[in-house]
Amino acid sequence: MILTIAYRELRSLFMSPLAWVMLAVVQGILAYVFLMQVERFLQLQPRLAAMADAPGLTDIVVAPLLGNAAFILLLIMPLLTMRLISEERRNKTLSLLLSAPLSMTEIILGKFLAMIIFVALMVLLLALMPLSLLLGGSIDLGMLLSGLLGLFLLASSFAALGLYMSCLTAQPTIAAISSFGALLLLWIIDWSGSAGAAADINIMAYLSMIRHYEPMLHGVFNSSDFIYYLLFIGLFVILSIRRLDAERLPH
């Protein structure tokens, strides 16, 4: 049942130009970043060869690439998730789901699954670029994998928050703007932490989404980062289910 809803969602997504344009734009920009980093590596190569324990191809090309990809996804995901529930509400198609023998959990999980599949597709397309380096050099595959997993978790978190925002309103644009605002806030929330030079653990820094992403880019796979993303996703998926359920109740 969850699969049925996810399939319908993806189908509608790929029937509109939106999905294609997004994939193309993301891929285009990241290809440009990728080429810049490769060029930089080629310039640095003579000097790197002289250094002992020099940063490798993966450090110089892949880490910045995935770092930029995260920021672009921050801009793109709200546009992708804004329609999930709000458009069904606006077009009155939500009642089709509500009067079918389905639970709210199935509806929300179906929608979320569609987003995860789309995110996975984007991450896979992106992974092709670093993998192409294998043609002429060698990269640290473990580090690449850790970075890609980090990006996937990060984008899935964006999707969960966007889904919740879409549950709150009947206007896709409002959903997009509010999820963009919330994501950006979570992105920069650690700035206050770094301004105060204190080295002790800062709660703001802990909440920041980017702080849990950066270690993964450098191949450090910390289970606490992993759990942070799972909790984040779980929280917003559950909130979405509750919100959709509350809609039926008298208020």
Interface with another protein includes 20 (CB under 8 A)?
no
Interface with another protein includes 10 (CB under 8 A)?
no
**In the complex with another protein, which residue's Cβ is closer, 27 or 105?**
105
Q: Provide the mask over 191-230, with x wherever binding to another protein is found by CB under 8 A and - wherever it is not.
A: ----------------------------------------
CA–CA distance, 125 with 75 (Å, rounded to integer): 18
The DSSP symbol for 54 reads -
Smallest separation, CB 31 to another protein (Å): 30
CA–CA distance, 110 with 7 (Å, rounded to integer): 8
Smallest separation, CB 163 to another protein (Å): 19
Interface with another protein includes 95 (CB under 8 A)?
yes
Q: Provide the mask over 111-150, with x wherever binding to another protein is found by CB under 8 A and - wherever it is not.
A: ----------------------------------------
Are 35 and 19 in contact, with CB atoms under 8 Å apart? no
Exactly one of 6, 22, 73, 94 binds another protein (CB under 8 A); that residue is 94
Are 133 and 139 in contact, with CB atoms under 8 Å apart? yes
Interface with another protein includes 11 (CB under 8 A)?
yes
**In the complex with another protein, which residue's Cβ is closer, 46 or 250?**
250
Interacting positions 64-93 with another protein (CB under 8 A)? 91-93
32 CB burial (10 A radius; 0-12, 13-18, 19+): exposed
CA–CA distance, 28 with 72 (Å, rounded to integer): 11
For 114, residues 6+ apart whose C-beta sits below 8 A from its C-beta are 5, 6, 7, 9, 10, 13
For 178, residues 6+ apart whose C-beta sits below 8 A from its C-beta are 165, 168, 169
* Binding stretches for another protein (CB under 8 A): 1, 4-5, 8, 11-12, 15-16, 91-103, 248-251
